[in-house]
Amino acid sequence: MKAGSKHFPKSHRKQQIITTTDTVLKEVGATDFTVDQIVDRSGVAEGISYKYYKSKDDILAEVSVKALELLLDYFKTALQKEKNLPEATKGLIMAYYHYYLDHPRYFELILYMERPDFNSSIRNYLVISRELRDFFTKHIENCQAANVIKKDVDATYCTYMIWGSL
């Protein structure tokens, strides 16, 4: 019998959903993830999960915040290690590769979130996504200021090209 969560505060139930989602995601991946798996494992009724999150995408977006924050940490660590801008750029790309090796399910989640029909308005997801984009774009702009990358290249566009090729 599942442990009921009827009497838990809202914040506890939301955290229970996210913790269970993270566990299931690491086991089955984003593609095979279902809300029913969360219901079965967490003891939170399906209606309750949809009370807090409108869709599977919203639940995954909430978990992807952790995945993207971890990726940003990898990027920051890579830049701290290397002051030479071309080598730092290589370090960023290698950091993404090491992230893929260390956290394959989170990597899969990030790719899953990039699909055209993805739709979520989870604020934390939107914030960390912008922060990652801006972090990488700032690095490109620093490379442009040092004449490592041509200044007539749009830094944001360049960021998306690099991101898309990884």
pLDDT at 7: 61
pLDDT at 150: 94
* Residue 47 lies inside a defined structural domain of this protein: yes
Identify the domain boundary among 29, 52, 75.
Answer: 52
Pair 118, 80 in one domain: yes
* Residue 94 lies inside a defined structural domain of this protein: yes
Pair 114, 32 in one domain: no
pLDDT tens for residues 112-159? Answer: 988 888 888 888 988 999 999 999 999 999 999 999 999 999 999 988
**Mean pLDDT score of the chain, rounded to an integer?**
89
- 78, 92 in Cβ contact below 8 A? yes
> Per-residue confidence at 6, pLDDT binned at 50, 70, 90?
low
Domain extent, residue 139, equals 64-165
pLDDT at 48: 74
* Residue 57 lies inside a defined structural domain of this protein: no
Pair 92, 160 in one domain: yes
Q: What's the domain count of the chain?
A: 2
Instruction: Determine the distance from the C-alpha atom of residue 91 to the mean position of all C-alpha atoms in its chain, rounded to a whole number.
Output: 19
Q: In one letter, which amino acid is 166?
A: L
Instruction: Determine the distance from the C-alpha atom of residue 90 to the mean position of all C-alpha atoms in its chain, rounded to a whole number.
Output: 21
Pair 28, 86 in one domain: no
Instruction: Tell me the range of 7-16, 26-35, 45-54 where mean pLDDT is highest.
Output: 26-35
pLDDT at 116: 86
Helices (H), the chain: 10-32, 35-42, 46-52, 56-81, 85-102, 104-113, 123-145, 155-165
